[in-house]
Structure 1
């Protein structure tokens, strides 16, 4: 059988055609679904480069006919089929994608997206100040899942987001910021200042509760009176109250269960916490404050604002900042009068209060499983890290007291 040749006498392979009418080379092949497809090139060398890629894709099972799909197309596919995420987590993912990805790289075709494109996109976000580097992890989390669908469904070979965030962090010399606990004197100074300052006194029960239970802010604002059993002496943590503040969808609360099984737990009620809860109830009775705000069928929230609504986590963090600033101003003035160094409060948030409780617990409890259970840590390594940090400081303090007492000086 005589093989076809081009105008230069070169033998063409199966599927290759030289078109004399326009001088183009053409290659036809059949996809797995039985459909015929065609590509063109001005040179035989260029055509065969394309052929090789097609043959590799076919051998690897890549869906060549559907390579016109965009990242936005794949996101919609992921969004449609994604299950197992908490409602607020899923809503946040969708919001992040729509705000930062859809109009930036969402229209790019999957077949054209390379790791360098993702790297450039991430660098642009950080460089333009659109998002802090640690927050970029949320975008990475979403995109990695979306591209994983593309890999699993054989649209692309590899996930272009693999390793990109690590490279960005290395380039920016980024280290995950450590959450530091308040020292015991700082913790006591914070609470004492609230207690002695009339305009802040209404915050004392909540912050005493947080420092006496280690609850997350979402668990604290979502706490209901029905979760507290004063008779048995236990508080049951079984749901979170999450506040959404999105440009799309507006502001709203949602109730959810803990992300993991370890998040649902029982915490013993310390005497100080019992007193704080009783004080909170007394304050609300004195102000005739009743919670009539219902969220997903729940309305007996413990910590309320002056309108009888659950506290907003952002409001609580702003309160910490106002109290800390007021304390530091007063302490600076007092220290100047007393001719001493001021003992100032560092910047901190609600999560630092949780970390502070865990540190105090680690300083007084050696059973890591008990600490993990009380804190609701999914991974024991999180507990161990805080425990190691707390005991390291305790050891240093202990050895400082031993100075000159071991009888080893000569």
Structure 2
């Protein structure tokens, strides 16, 4: 067993290997997690044990990282460990890591029905291509990267569908001591994210006359050959709802609002999952199958009506 390689050296070799098989965005995420978390903690070591990793996990949670982020870091650590074992640089180590009991709320932030109506009415009355993007997101549940990457060629008003085939994101790249960011246009993260979403009658009515005169290769949000990136569009959206006096809601809340309205309308969970492009239905169930305040209130009122 050749144990003369540090975790830092193994990680360097693992990155060179991994880069050949994963998307640029995934590789960027892996590199950031190693540089920011794993190498500072384990880089100069030749080995580590479960006790050290458990201590690392508690430290990261104490520093304010979410359990999801810490679990993502552990996934990368285990990939590096597997690579090291395969190349006989380390012996197999079973890691049974424990996490504190979560006491976080399952509630997700969505627009109230009244605020959603208010926003959609404003978007219809004050047409701009950027406003149209917000309306499309509320009508389809698109992610911000997906709406930024949408071209007119993806909008099929004859068949009444929007085809989601690409996403735009800004990724961090690390080359030696140089760190920079770049915007990339890429396929969605999973094959389930490549999907067709039926358009509502209102959306078709809005898009049909525009679709006849625009350049098919142009991006929807800019109506130009050059797209806008998510952080720029996020700023525009934030100013939009602020000026409408709508409570602050992250852009991703539009997607949550779309899904919540579907669930409230008794849409089956599998269909909602497919519309959202989730990799499996459990993601949809975990996110949205929780009664909100209005539903709980209705249940109590219904119970007391039964008593009378």
Which TM-score band (shorter chain)? Answer: 0.7 to 0.9
Q: Check conservation: 2:169, 2:185, Cα contact below 8 A.
A: yes
Of 96, 100, 109, which residue of structure 1 is paired with 2:46? Answer: 109
Q: Check conservation: 1:358, 1:386, Cα contact below 8 A.
A: no
SS state of the match for residue 298, structure 2?
helix
SS state of the match for residue 184, structure 2?
strand
Cα pair distance change 1:367/1:123, threshold 3 Å: closer
- Does residue 1:189 correspond to 2:118, yes or no? yes
| Correspondence 1:9-408 to 2 at 5 A | 63=1, 66-82=2-18, 84-110=21-47, 113-125=48-60, 134-154=68-88, 155-160=90-95, 162-163=96-97, 166-167=98-99, 169-170=100-101, 175=104, 178-192=107-121, 203-246=130-173, 248-277=178-207, 300-304=218-222, 309-328=226-245, 345=247, 347-386=248-287, 388-389=289-290, 393-394=294-295, 396-397=297-298, 400=301, 404=305, 408=307
Deviation at 1:132, TM superposition (A): 5.8
Q: Check conservation: 1:304, 1:310, Cα contact below 8 A.
A: yes
**Cα distance in 2 for residues equivalent to 1:388 and 1:128:** 30
Q: Check conservation: 1:260, 1:378, Cα contact below 8 A.
A: yes
Cα pair distance change 1:184/1:92, threshold 3 Å: same
Q: TM-score, normalised by structure 2?
A: 0.80
SS state of the match for residue 236, structure 1?
strand
Deviation at 1:188, TM superposition (A): 2.1
Q: What's the CA shift string for 1:29-67, capped at 9, x where partnerless?
A: xxxxxxxxxxxxxxxxxxxxxxxxxxxxxxxxxx2xx11
SS state of the match for residue 44, structure 2?
coil
Superposition CA RMSD, Å: 3.5
Q: What's the CA shift string for 1:125-180, capped at 9, x where partnerless?
A: 55567x566533432222121122234445123145x41xx43x44xx66376433
Tell me how many residue pairs correspond in the alignment: 303
Deviation at 1:97, TM superposition (A): 1.7
| Larger Rg belongs to | 1
The runs of 5 or more residues in structure 2 that have no matched partner are none
Q: What's the CA shift string for 1:326-352, capped at 9, x where partnerless?
A: 344xxxxxxxxxxxxxxx62x322221
Q: What's the CA shift string for 1:101-129, capped at 9, x where partnerless?
A: 3344312112xx22333344445555567
Q: What's the CA shift string for 1:258-287, capped at 9, x where partnerless?
A: 2322222111111332355468779x97xx
Q: Check conservation: 1:148, 1:159, Cα contact below 8 A.
A: no
Deviation at 1:353, TM superposition (A): 0.9
The runs of 5 or more residues in structure 1 that have no matched partner are 1-62, 292-298, 329-343
SS state of the match for residue 135, structure 1?
helix
Deviation at 1:375, TM superposition (A): 1.6
